[in-house]
Amino acid sequence: MYGRYTQELGVYAKEEAARLRDGGVRDGGGLRRNTSVRSRAADLLEYEKDPCAKCHLCASRCQKFLISRVGEDWIFLILLGLLMALVSWVMDYAIAFCQEAQNWMYGGLDSNLLLQYIAWVTYPVVLITFSAGFTQILAPQAVGSGIPEMKTILRGVVLKEYLTFKTFVAKVIGLTCALGSGMPLGKEGPFVHVASLCAALLSKFMAALFGGIFMNELRNTEMLSAACAVGVGCCFAAPIGGVLFSIEVTSTFFAVRNYWRGFFAATFSAFIFRVLAVWNQEEETITALFKTRFRLDFPFDLQELPAFAILGIACGFGGALFVYLNRLIVECMRKQKTINKFLLRKRLVYPALVTLLVSTLTFPPGFGQFMAGQLTQHESLVALFDNRTWCRQGVAEEFDYISHHHAWKHPQVNVFITLILFIIMKFWMSAVATTMPVPCGAFMPVFLIGAGFGRLVGEIMAAMFPDGIHADGSVYPIVPGGYAVVGAAALSGAVTHTVSTAVIVFELTGQISHILPVMIAVILANAVAQSLQPSLYDSIIRIKKLPYLPELGMGHHEKYNIRVEDIMVRDVRFITLNSSYRELQEMLLTGQLKTLALVESRDSMILLGSIERLQLQSLLSLQLGRKRRLEYLRQLAQDNGTQDHLPSLTTDSTPSVRGRHGGAGLGRSEARTKQEMYENERLKCRVYTFSVVSSVSLQIGEWEEQQLDEPVDFKNCKIDPAPFQLVEQTSLHKTHTIFSLLGLDHAYVTSMGRLVGVVSLKELRKAIEGSVTVTGVKVRPPLASFRDCGNSTSVSEVTELHKLCIRHRGLSLPRETFCLCDIFLYCQQIP
Amino acid sequence: MYGRYTQELGVYAKEEAARLRDGGVRDGGGLRRNTSVRSRAADLLEYEKDPCAKCHLCASRCQKFLISRVGEDWIFLILLGLLMALVSWVMDYAIAFCQEAQNWMYGGLDSNLLLQYIAWVTYPVVLITFSAGFTQILAPQAVGSGIPEMKTILRGVVLKEYLTFKTFVAKVIGLTCALGSGMPLGKEGPFVHVASLCAALLSKFMAALFGGIFMNELRNTEMLSAACAVGVGCCFAAPIGGVLFSIEVTSTFFAVRNYWRGFFAATFSAFIFRVLAVWNQEEETITALFKTRFRLDFPFDLQELPAFAILGIACGFGGALFVYLNRLIVECMRKQKTINKFLLRKRLVYPALVTLLVSTLTFPPGFGQFMAGQLTQHESLVALFDNRTWCRQGVAEEFDYISHHHAWKHPQVNVFITLILFIIMKFWMSAVATTMPVPCGAFMPVFLIGAGFGRLVGEIMAAMFPDGIHADGSVYPIVPGGYAVVGAAALSGAVTHTVSTAVIVFELTGQISHILPVMIAVILANAVAQSLQPSLYDSIIRIKKLPYLPELGMGHHEKYNIRVEDIMVRDVRFITLNSSYRELQEMLLTGQLKTLALVESRDSMILLGSIERLQLQSLLSLQLGRKRRLEYLRQLAQDNGTQDHLPSLTTDSTPSVRGRHGGAGLGRSEARTKQEMYENERLKCRVYTFSVVSSVSLQIGEWEEQQLDEPVDFKNCKIDPAPFQLVEQTSLHKTHTIFSLLGLDHAYVTSMGRLVGVVSLKELRKAIEGSVTVTGVKVRPPLASFRDCGNSTSVSEVTELHKLCIRHRGLSLPRETFCLCDIFLYCQQIP
């Protein structure tokens, strides 16, 4: 924080002098003023000593000159888009290759059912086990979707290990294997994480190359939010939907000025992603991923809207059920202690078992024949979005034109039964599969289930109204594919609590003709799901116990009437400007707060700022620390002539030790005599030391007491001079807004400058939803992203301080031990 | 702010007592504590006196019971959507009717060219003049787009008169007439305003019915932002694009939790709007407004992308030019003093002249034949979005299948010439027409020009590559309609600086197949336009001198290095807790700040809060005000026996006045004598009064001096106890973020609780872009929306105070006048 000035030193010094002059006239109160000036002067000195700071200055100048004109944001975004498109395309290619390999193996062994079964089952089990193992070994943070973590990170919490190169490798390879296995897993969520990883790594790389700007924390956050958009955008080739989805899923407040970044990067990424497909001759030109061919002139009848609405509401319930089921499975396994223990020991057993179960059930000659088990997600979706009806008046039509028709058309079983089985089986399979410890998302499986459900409703409608509903003149048959699109958007919207799935389906299918049914269904599904369950990502956040702030739900208007004074903690822990070190120590020993308020005095209670716990610990250890102890001891020795005793003690003992080593070459008896002598000497030494120590330790104890009674010197302490303040009358709603806007952890409640209370995330959370406690995750200090002025110094400074504290162990060791240690240390120093 | 407690009074009193007890033990410093307690006690008393507050409590209870379950937000949004859809549909109907009427008149007179011309010209001139006159008389705030004002209002500035019923009526009727005239004007911008008006009025209505929630200011802001989405949504039947466009255009930071509101209301509104069309048998089913029929399987070739990119870049330049031209016209007319004076006197001349010019040029048998002058905007767009080429290899094809083919196909002139003329003429016409003082937007005209330009590029491409570019096998001819769609999105995006025009075109055309070209062109157009000119709305904000905060542009990374200490004003005006009224008066007379900082003392400079100027003025006028003066005078009279003089003076003078009136029925001579007597009496009275006054005024002067030396009593003053604070090290970028997040007007810079400077919007604006000053618009106090706890009391309270001040004129009148006034007032009171 300190030691970094963008102005030239000379200019700064002049200004400071002028300010001093002015200040002397204008404000008479010298003490505080001087303190601040002194600390700034100290900073200046520090600054001059710090070579890094100078480098930083140079680097920033160079960077200005070099990059600012080229538009470093554009370059960064283009690079990010390009990289992600490549990753996405290569991954898709690898996944397709994996699935083809499985099909080839499965198809080649069609003479023997058992061999075929073994081939069908072994392949995914091996892939998933490898994925789980690889991820576990390299970076366990890569497990799961990544969207909950990104949401937490973008809220301002530091989850450092989630954005490392290791995690990137683990995520990409693990995800490829997991998706290649053909399990009902998704690519979207992990891709958001991969894109963020990519952005973070690219930032680091650019910072190493060009410095300056690329180290700015705020900017990195902006880039991370753009990266989330890129993740979704290049996964589905859906730039608009990607931007909106990422905003809805990861942000609480969105800065519109970052909007273009997301759009630009996502569009570029989606463009490259699709161009690669054209270049590889998979496609003739750039089109949608799941292109549909619904008729344009009469996409749906007005009288079909109730069916769409019902579909939306049903999807809402289904989405809530999915989230509930997913959480239930995780919680069940956690609560069952035997299972939990077993799984913790053998981490690969669970994914292998789940994969075995799922692939057994989808085995095409077995149960899989009734649920289109043979098809991949992509093939199923293409079939479900088909624009023709599969059955008319209850009788299955010949639909040979679909490439994978045989999967859906079972000779004995109705299409409806196949669809229902498909939906039910996929539903629980997806809920179970997404709990496996591999990198995987749930969006795509849910999307597929939604499409299936929509298709079912559509087919039922088509069976009920074979000639369509439209009354006047021309016959417009019902398009079940439209229902599939609506269902997919509604169910995925319900599970993720987003509206932008609507846009994603338009971009995925390349048709926007069903916009109103889709919007209506998605909104209804959201309304139902949001009133029943949290979103899947929020559910995972709660399961993983990440720090979060619950949303103020729809229509909770009592929130407007609760005030801060109703929820604040009135017994605030604070220190005053004239506190003694003893008070500080007591405060640190009794409380566990991360920051303490600094007030002017116990009488006035005027809030001056807040200090981090670590800062206070280092203050205390500076006062009672080794250096000052040694100084005191030296002074003590000089004053009382203790120095005579101590050197004699050390000279007595050290030669004997040396003698012991030196006597290695002597005879045995001589050695034994030496040994005895040494033992005697040691005994003497111990007794002597003890007597000296006991007398010295008394003096040290006195000295300590004396030191503790001194007032705290805040000169060397980093104080946040303007912690966020609320007033007692602030409503809960506004408090929530401010907390989520600024990513606060806590805020002080003041009344005319006097500290009257404190509100933290915990109280806010309790007030909003009940009592949930979060532990074990480091939350950034309040307003960290706004108050830090260095780029990444504050974090490293704190780490340094922390190291210092650990080295001193000023607070964790009992005091007596501390004294003895010091004396011995002192003894060893004297030659 | 005060006088509203959601808790029960008893509970509150108990708590307050408990707090007092605790407080007495914990903090000894009685003075400040007591002050605060006293002020709260005073509030309590006030509360008990205030019947409104009690009603509020009851109402809020009832409202909780009645509405909270039904989901009042949903009801509100449904009502809003329904209303706006109806307004939009009725307006469209009326506009179509107006245009049909014009065509009928024009068509019926085809025998006589002069009559035809007169009919063609008179009709729009009358409509526009009526629109301008009507708006001018009823509500001049209804003029123009309304989006700039909405942006300012949503930023937190109070522009009250922009959300009244009068404005609503003026806007709706004025807009209908303006659009019915066939001028190149748009419906979108005004519709955003109309929807916001609708929401504001609906809120008031609901508040009157149900109270409570509907009065919450924060909630109203949320509803306003939803309303903006509804405005765009129901204007184009584009719910998603509407939401995104309104976010981009009006917000700086967007709360994702408000997202669903916008989506729901816009979808509902668009749905009803289109259902009305079906119900009116204009359409068979719900489809897009400008439905296109481009081929789905091969929408465009990859090699056409450079053409799309060039189109985008050209549109970017065009957009910037449009904004520049529009501003130039306004500024020209303002600077030309003679024109300006003339126009100010004859407000209707300018719109009439412009209309005459435009309609003369579009007269179909005249110049209009070369620029499709006969077509309305809707017809032109339908033609431009057509999916077939208009000419092949330079020769115009027969395109009779378009309903208005003859307008584009001139026997002598090439289609290219027609298109070029169309673009150029419409360009300047739109730029001029949108400066007329009628309710009108610029989006639709710009959209049309963009479509024309795109069509031109498309036709050129089609002429250059008659068989398409695609190399392998099948022939895919180029679709110029696709270029028209891309051009429309790009140009409107460039003018408004938004990306969401892309989504709007998809929803307008009902096809999303051109997503990548559209996105690429829109992003490039935005990049070009944003680097050249502000958006049209920001340009209007600057022209209208509304308070605004410029955006941090793309890639201005030096902003990360400027700190608050570099831009802050160090000479802060403040008052201290022990300031005298004299200091307060001087502060008020010399400075023009809207709020003043309150610090503990000149020595400590600890910031305690901020006080609004009006509050201080009322404090001062309370101290020196009429009531206290009269009291003093009465006391003076009692003490010195002055009362004897004064009554005699008044009894002498008043009867004579009464006598004058009473003598109306007497004879002439008698009346004259009376008159003379009266004159004499008056003269005497004046002399006497003067002598009394001069002696009293001396005493009053002394009394005033004495009063001014008393310390200020802040008891009755509303203090914002936690004004927003920054620290010196905060970067400009973070400051900008905080200012735009919280809608601040200024923030104090503190260092350890000490006030060291202040940063206001002005400094921030200067730092970002240069020096621009804004005057005459009322900016809300900092954090008003977060700190106010009453619903709308604060505003009304302030207004009340303002009225009080105006009545007293305590500061604007010179002191001597004040005294005399008082004495006369005193005299009149005594019977």
pLDDT tens digits along B375-390: 888 888 888 888 777 7
Task: Please give the C-alpha separations between residue B225 and each of A519, B77, B363, B742, in angstroms, as whole numbers.
Answer: 19, 12, 41, 16
As a whole number of angstroms, the distance between CA B156 and CA B746 comes to 13
Query: What pLDDT digit, counting tens, does each position of B274-303 carry?
Result: 888 888 877 777 778 888 888 877 888 888
pLDDT at position B537 over 70: yes
As a whole number of angstroms, the distance between CA A153 and CA A780 comes to 10
Instruction: Name which residue leads in pLDDT, A82 or A642.
Output: A82
Q: What pLDDT is recorded for position A491?
A: 95
Averaged pLDDT for residues A230-240: 88
Q: Which of B285, B519, B787 sits opposite A239 (nearest CB)?
A: B519
Instruction: Name which residue leads in pLDDT, B612 or B202.
Output: B202
Which of A99-113, A643-657, A804-818, B255-269 is predicted with the least confidence, judged by mean pLDDT? A804-818
Averaged pLDDT for residues B446-452: 94
Residues 429-488 of B with CB under 8 A from A: 470, 472
Query: What pLDDT digit, counting tens, does each position of A591-632 carry?
Result: 667 778 888 888 878 777 788 877 778 877 877 777 777 887
Distance, in angstroms, between B342 CA and closest chain A CA? 42
pLDDT at position B192 over 80: yes
Distance, in angstroms, between B608 CA and closest chain A CA? 5
Q: Looking at the complex, does the CB of residue A41 fall below 8 Å from at least one CB of chain B?
A: no
Q: Which of B248, B600, B731 sits opposite A789 (nearest CB)?
A: B731
Averaged pLDDT for residues B11-24: 42
Nearest CA in chain B to A499: B260
Q: What pLDDT is recorded for position B392?
A: 57
DSSP string computed for A286-345: S--TT-----SS----GGGHHHHHHHHHHHHHHHHHHHHHHHHHHHHHHH-HHHHHHHHH
Q: What pLDDT is recorded for position A7?
A: 33
Which of A64-78, A193-207, A235-249 is predicted with the least confidence, judged by mean pLDDT? A64-78
Instruction: Name which residue leads in pLDDT, A30 or A227.
Output: A227
As a whole number of angstroms, the distance between CA B396 and CA B415 comes to 7
Of the pLDDT bands very low, low, confident and very high (cuts 50, 70, 90), residue B53 is very low
Say how many residues make up chain A. 831
Of the pLDDT bands very low, low, confident and very high (cuts 50, 70, 90), residue B457 is very high
The top-scoring range by mean pLDDT among A161-165, A454-458, B285-289, B553-557 is A454-458
Identify the three-state secondary structure at position A576.
strand
Q: Which of A602, A722, A727 sits opposite B727 (nearest CB)?
A: A722
Which of A179-188, A391-400, B328-337 is predicted with the least confidence, judged by mean pLDDT? A391-400
Of the pLDDT bands very low, low, confident and very high (cuts 50, 70, 90), residue B667 is low
Task: Please give the C-alpha separations between residue B32 and each of A598, A751, B302, in angstroms, as whole numbers.
Answer: 18, 10, 74
Which domains does chain A carry?
Answer: 68-280 (1.10.3080.10), 303-391+404-544 (1.10.3080.10)
Instruction: Name which residue leads in pLDDT, A456 or A590.
Output: A456
- Chain position carrying tokens 């503190």: B750
As a whole number of angstroms, the distance between CA A60 and CA A55 comes to 8
Q: What pLDDT is recorded for position B828?
A: 41
Distance, in angstroms, between B605 CA and closest chain A CA? 8
Averaged pLDDT for residues B59-63: 40
Instruction: Name which residue leads in pLDDT, A262 or A390.
Output: A262
Of the pLDDT bands very low, low, confident and very high (cuts 50, 70, 90), residue B747 is confident
Distance in angstroms between the alpha carbons of the first and the last residue of chain A? 41
Of the pLDDT bands very low, low, confident and very high (cuts 50, 70, 90), residue A791 is very low
In chain B, what residues touch A731 (CB-CB under 8 Å)?
789
CB B126 within 8 A of CB B356: no
Which of B568, B594, B564 lies closest to B720, judged by CA? Answer: B594
Q: Looking at the complex, does the CB of residue A787 fall below 8 Å from at least one CB of chain B?
A: yes
Distance, in angstroms, between A132 CA and closest chain B CA? 35
Q: What pLDDT is recorded for position B772?
A: 31
Q: What pLDDT is recorded for position A427?
A: 93
Query: What pLDDT digit, counting tens, does each position of A120-163 carry?
Result: 898 899 999 999 999 989 988 888 888 888 888 887 777 778 88
Query: What pLDDT digit, counting tens, does each position of A440-450 carry?
Result: 989 999 999 99
Averaged pLDDT for residues B229-248: 88
The dihedrals phi and psi of B287, each to the nearest 5 degrees, come to -135, -175
The dihedrals phi and psi of B200, each to the nearest 5 degrees, come to -65, -45
Task: Tell how far CA B825 is from the center of its chain.
Answer: 42
Q: Looking at the complex, does the CB of residue B707 fall below 8 Å from at least one CB of chain A?
A: no
As a whole number of angstroms, the distance between CA A234 and CA A763 comes to 40
Most distant CA pair in chain A, distance: 123
Instruction: Name which residue leads in pLDDT, A123 or A650.
Output: A123
Which of A130-139, A200-209, B801-810 is predicted with the least confidence, judged by mean pLDDT? B801-810
As a whole number of angstroms, the distance between CA A440 and CA A444 comes to 10
On the 0-12 / 13-18 / 19+ scale of CB atoms within 10 A, B661 is exposed
Query: What pLDDT digit, counting tens, does each position of A288-321 carry?
Result: 888 888 877 788 888 888 999 999 999 999 999 9
Query: What pLDDT digit, counting tens, does each position of A471-512 carry?
Result: 677 778 888 889 999 999 999 999 999 999 999 999 888 888
As a whole number of angstroms, the distance between CA B12 and CA A314 comes to 47
CB B178 within 8 A of CB B442: no
Instruction: Name which residue leads in pLDDT, B10 or B484.
Output: B484
pLDDT at position B118 over 80: yes
pLDDT at position A564 over 70: yes
Query: What pLDDT digit, counting tens, does each position of A705-747 carry?
Result: 887 888 877 777 777 766 777 777 777 777 777 777 776 778 8
Averaged pLDDT for residues B456-469: 85
Residues 488-517 of B with CB under 8 A from A: 499, 502-503, 506-507, 510-513, 515-516
What mean pLDDT is reported for chain B? Answer: 74
| B652 contacts: CB under 8 Å, gap ≥ 6 | B681, B684, B685
pLDDT at position B243 over 80: yes
Q: What pLDDT is recorded for position A779?
A: 33
Distance, in angstroms, between A708 CA and closest chain B CA? 23
Of the pLDDT bands very low, low, confident and very high (cuts 50, 70, 90), residue A21 is very low
Q: Which long-range contacts (CB under 8 A, 24 or more apart) does A419-425 make?
A: A419/A452, A419/A455, A419/A456, A419/A459, A420/A456, A421/A370, A421/A371, A422/A371, A422/A372, A422/A452, A423/A449, A423/A452, A423/A453, A423/A456, A425/A361, A425/A362, A425/A371
Burial profile B605-625: b = 16 or more Cβ within 10 angstroms, e = fewer: bbbbbbbbbbbbbbbbbbbbb
Starting at the edge strand found earlier in the chain, the sheet holding B746-751 runs: B725-726, B746-751, B754-760
In chain B, what residues touch A515 (CB-CB under 8 Å)?
239-240, 288, 507, 510
Q: How many CB atoms lie within 10 A of CB B800?
A: 13
Tell which phi-psi region holds residue B454, choosing left (phi > 0), alpha (psi between -120 and 50) or beta: alpha
% pLDDT > 90, chain B = 17
As a whole number of angstroms, the distance between CA B24 and CA B34 comes to 10
- Is the Cβ pair B555, A248 closer than 8 Å? no
% pLDDT > 70, chain A = 73
pLDDT at position B104 over 60: yes
Averaged pLDDT for residues B718-746: 74
- Is the Cβ pair B299, A287 closer than 8 Å? yes
Write a three-state SS string for B82-142.
HHHHHHHHHHHHHHHHHHHHHHHHHHHCCCCHHHHHHHHHHHHHHHHHHHHHHHHHHCHHH
pLDDT at position B211 over 80: no
Averaged pLDDT for residues B594-623: 80
Averaged pLDDT for residues A269-295: 82
What mean pLDDT is reported for chain A? Answer: 74
- Chain position carrying tokens 């009928």: B104
CB B488 within 8 A of CB B447: yes
| B251 contacts: CB under 8 Å, gap ≥ 6 | A256, B154, B225
As a whole number of angstroms, the distance between CA B746 and CA B728 comes to 14
Which of A807-821, B114-128, B479-493 is predicted with the least confidence, judged by mean pLDDT? A807-821
In chain A, what residues touch B523 (CB-CB under 8 Å)?
260, 263-264, 267
Q: What pLDDT is recorded for position A555?
A: 45
Q: Does the pTM exceed 0.95?
A: no
- Chain position carrying tokens 């409590």: B57
Q: Looking at the complex, does the CB of residue B24 fall below 8 Å from at least one CB of chain A?
A: no
- Is the Cβ pair A741, B742 closer than 8 Å? yes
CB A802 within 8 A of CB A766: no
